[in-house]
Amino acid sequence: MKNTTLIAPLLTVLISASCYSAQAEDGPSFDCTKASNVVEKTICASSSLSQMDRKLSESYRASLVLLSEEGKVSFRNGRRQWIKVTREVCDRTPFPKLLYMPTTEQCLEKHYRERQKQLEDAVREYGGIKIRRVDRFEAHRSELKSEYSGVDVGFDTTYISFPQIDAPASSQQELWNKKMADMANSYVGMNSEGGDNDYDSEYSILSVSPKLISVDVTGGFYAHGTPHGHYISTTVNWLLREGREMQADDVFDKTKPWQEVVLKYCLEDLSKHEGYWGNSKKSDVIIKLGDMPLNTYTHVIFNLGDMPLNTIRWAFQKEGLRIQFNPYEVAPYVYGAPNVLIPWDMLRQYLVADPPIVKELFEPGTN
């Protein structure tokens, strides 16, 4: 006679294992049987969100193992903050169901896509210098409970990110870490008028060499209920050996008239763009509200001053020196953040003998 007393428990174990395996392959990174809130239940009910959650968890673990112990602590803190904030802002049950209001699922899809992109480039090594991403996520309900605007509707948010050298090997590298952290956090509270705001900053590593690290940083705020946000872009060119920001004299020979060349090129280039304030056809701007002029004419004085000579606007590219301008500086907001690219052929003769720029950028035939 068959021993049926052993078969039933064995089947239970096999079925349980089979269910767990299916959940591990198709479900999210967490146990859906323990889902306790709207957001977790929404993820578990959606195959696409479950897949996104699982992929995000894999990307996180892949980056985590590359970091020092200090880096791991920071990376874990960023993950905890992201999970907490996402659970808060994507729970849409307290809000009215309006056409322009995102659903919980739509909110989650947006946040998962953004976070996945961030984690895919969270840790990178450049010739022995490992740079990791640091994040700060915060959210709380807007002061005006009936006000439904902002990055995450109904919430004031702070989404700050900045790069750090993992396990810095010198005091100069530690100074760079401090510079990047201080700069990112300086955007928080920029709006002196208070009210409901979203603060954020993001960065992009342009180049890393033993001499120079160049990073584009964009940050600012959106005041809820206003037409658009207010953001500025800055390039941090940091001399690693000296432990300081690069100055113009580190790149150009101060005995040569490089300033004239840069200013002249910028003026001529900007004046070619119809709609920019330097264009002679657009020097008089009519300010209107619909069809009713607020005032007849406002004459815009186009004066670059020494803006193009400031190194916080410089990015060194293969094609030339990029000079960055912020919204409203040389054109109306609709044109975004314009830039001017000055070819190296026009600048090479004005460079110092050994500039901190990678030679492949400014010397022909050094690819």
Residues 303 and 192 in one domain: no
What's the domain range around 73?
27-246
Q: Are residues 279 and 321 in the same domain?
A: yes
Cα dist from 155 to 91, 136, 161, whole Å: 11, 16, 19
What is the C-alpha separation between 206 and 248, in angstroms, rounded? 18
Residue 2 lies in a domain: no
**Do residues 147 and 295 share a domain?**
no
Inter-residue contact 104 to 91 (CB < 8 Å): yes
- DSSP letter for 350, please: G
Query: Phi and psi for 293 in degrees, rounded to 5?
Result: -70, 135
Under DSSP, is residue 161 helix (H, G, I), strand (E, B) or coil? strand
Mean pLDDT of 344-354: 95
Q: Do 98 and 147 reside in the same domain of the chain?
A: yes
> Quick check: is 210 in a domain?
yes
Q: 240 and 285: one domain?
A: no
Q: Specify if 99 maps to a domain.
A: yes
Query: Quick one: 225 and 257 in the same domain?
Result: no
Same domain for 262 and 224, yes or no, is no
Q: Which of 221, 246, 271 is the last residue of a domain?
A: 246
In a domain, 22, yes or no: no
Number of domains in the chain: 2
For strands 155-165 and 197-208, give the pairing: parallel
236 and 255 housed in the same domain: no
Do 75 and 171 share a domain, yes or no?
yes
Lowest-confidence region among 137-151, 187-201, 274-288: 274-288
Distance between the two ends of the chain, CA-based, in angstroms? 81
Query: What is the pairing mode between strands 244-245 and 284-289?
Result: unpaired
Q: Which residue has the higher pLDDT, 315 or 95?
A: 315
Gyration radius from the chain CA atoms: 26
Whether residue 19 is contained in a domain is answered as: no
Exposed / middle / buried, residue 307 (Cβ in 10 Å: 0-12, 13-18, 19+) = middle
Taking the C-alpha atoms of residue 248 and residue 291, their distance in angstroms, rounded to an integer, is: 47
Considering the domain architecture, whether residues 173 and 258 belong to the same structural domain is answered as: no
Q: What is the CATH number of the domain that holds 328?
A: 3.90.640.20
Amino acid letter, 167: A
Spatial distance between the Cα atoms of 330 and 347, rounded to a whole number of angstroms = 23
Kindly tell me if the per-residue pLDDT of 23 is higher than 60: no
What is the pLDDT at residue 279?
A: 56
Do the domain assignments include residue 199? yes
Mean pLDDT, all residues of the chain: 86
Report residue 362 as tokens. 């400014």
CATH no. for residue 175? 3.30.565.40
The string of pLDDT tens digits covering residues 206-259 is 999 999 999 999 999 999 999 999 999 999 999 999 999 999 999 999 999 999
- Same domain assignment for residues 81 and 199: yes
